[in-house]
Amino acid sequence: MTHIKLNTQHVAPFMSEHEYEEVRPLIAMADQELRQGTGVGAEYSDWLTLPSDYDRAEFKKIQEAAKKIQSDSKILVVIGIGGSYLGAKMAYEFLHPSFNNELAADQQAGVKVYFAGNSLSSTYLTDLIRVIADQDFSVNVISKSGTTTEPSVAFRIFKQLLEKKYGTEGAKKRIYATTDASRGALYEESQEAGYETFVIPNGIGGRFSVLTAVGLLPIAASGGDIEQLMAGAKAAQDDYSQPNLDDNDAYRYAAIRRTLYDKGFTTELLITWEPSMRYLAEWWKQLMGESEGKNHKGIYPSSANFSTDLHSLGQYIQDGRRDLFETVIRLDNPQADLDLPKMADNRDGLQYLEDMTVNDINVTAANGVALAHVDGGVPNIAVHIPKQDAYTLGYMIYFFELAVAISGYSFAINPFNQPGVEDYKKAMFALLGKPGYEAETKAYRARLDQ
């Protein structure tokens, strides 16, 4: 039995059984391209076997660095953008209490973690500096090249803060660089300065990198159990190794997505019912959008957190254009639950709920919303997870990574590149006046002046 369960009950009204048979050859072809390495972009598919063949020496080094950070710091500032921060941010939110950074130190499993370098907001950076104040902190800068604008700007600022607080030599002992194994600006600086370094594997792209040092060091420093995280991913690798559509829920999920897309359902909403899963949705959106959105193809990924967003997006989902479907993360056992207090009067109209817990109400609301949305023409896929722990998270990460790889190949695109990202960078660099972009600078500025 698999650790997470795919419930397709509310897909049945939109997809006949014979359609599984019709899509089966397409999924089989995608499986062959992925497993045999014959598909485009195969050189970036090392994540496929990562849970079983990760570098144990590097893993131990990560654990030791996490202990050092916990021993000399109250805060870890993680600097990165895209896949260099979303996985760690997602895990931090998923594994820890909602207000973890506000808890007393003795109630936290590890250090407080804050994220920078994922925007160009001067206000955000200023606010974070004020939060750090006089507390001891370390920095984990994550960049393959070391020249990506957003993290490079943030790293300059926080490196200067470290040097001002601890001196040049002291600062070097508090900087942890996760970068390329042998080249790039950050690699070169790390070698010259003596920063402790960790490797971003060449065969794993950023959005698939959460189970490498990119995600593991911040997760471990925060007190997350990275051994259980990898164990969950390994279990998923084993459980989803069979290509048969009937025995592989990750493949079945990919098949359903592809079939719904062909029917005109071109937008997928990842729905969560726990605020602590908001960044799970953000990580998922990058994974899906950057993997599939190519050659004017692919499912557009969006998200909503219920019941909150039912009061803002609910009307559109229920009654707007019928081109969207939902994948809902259903948590079977919450981290905590509360009884609804009993009141003598019924002024708020909640007396009929007094025999239920708050989670009972949440689960019942989720069931009702699913039925209403299906009745309104919105296909609904449910992914049931047993609880919010590291093992489950590792398992779910692998589930979605495998599903999008299969789905991407079914669209006849390369699921592992991101050519569109380079286009926006070219325009941004040109307008910023970066050397080497002089011709583009003139052209873009002329367009802005029109």
Instruction: Measure Cα distances from 364 to 144, 370, 402 in Å.
Output: 45, 10, 31
Report the distance separating Cα 356 and Cα 340, nearest Å. 7
Among 290, 292, 326, 401, the active-site one is: 290
E strands present in 355-412: 380-385
SS3 249: helix
- Residue 60 designated active-site: no
Q: CB under 8 Å to 344, separation ≥6 — which residues? A: none
Do 203 and 221 meet the contact criterion of CB atoms below 8 Å apart? no
Report the distance separating Cα 98 and Cα 95, nearest Å. 9
Give just the sign of the alpha carbon dihedral 226, 232, 235, 236. negative
| Residue 168 token pair | 């040049």
Q: CB under 8 Å to 127, separation ≥6 — which residues? A: none
- Residue 290 designated active-site: yes
- Bridge partners, residue 74, by sequence: none
Sheet containing strand 5-7, strands side by side: 5-7, 380-385, 324-331, 267-272, 300-305
Do 383 and 4 meet the contact criterion of CB atoms below 8 Å apart? yes
Do 110 and 66 meet the contact criterion of CB atoms below 8 Å apart? yes
Q: Distance between terminal CA atoms of the chain? A: 62
Report the distance separating Cα 438 and Cα 90, nearest Å. 39
DSSP string for residues in 132-165? HTTS-EEEEEE-SSS--HHHHHHHHHHHHHHHHH
Report the distance separating Cα 253 and Cα 249, nearest Å. 6
According to DSSP, the β-strands at 5-7 and 380-385 are antiparallel
Among 5, 74, 425, 434, the active-site one is: 425
Instruction: Measure Cα distances from 36 to 47, 103, 326 in Å.
Output: 14, 48, 31
Match 């698999």 to its residue by tokens: 2
416: exposed, middle or buried (Cβ count in 10 Å: 0-12, 13-18, 19+): buried
Catalytic residues: 290, 425
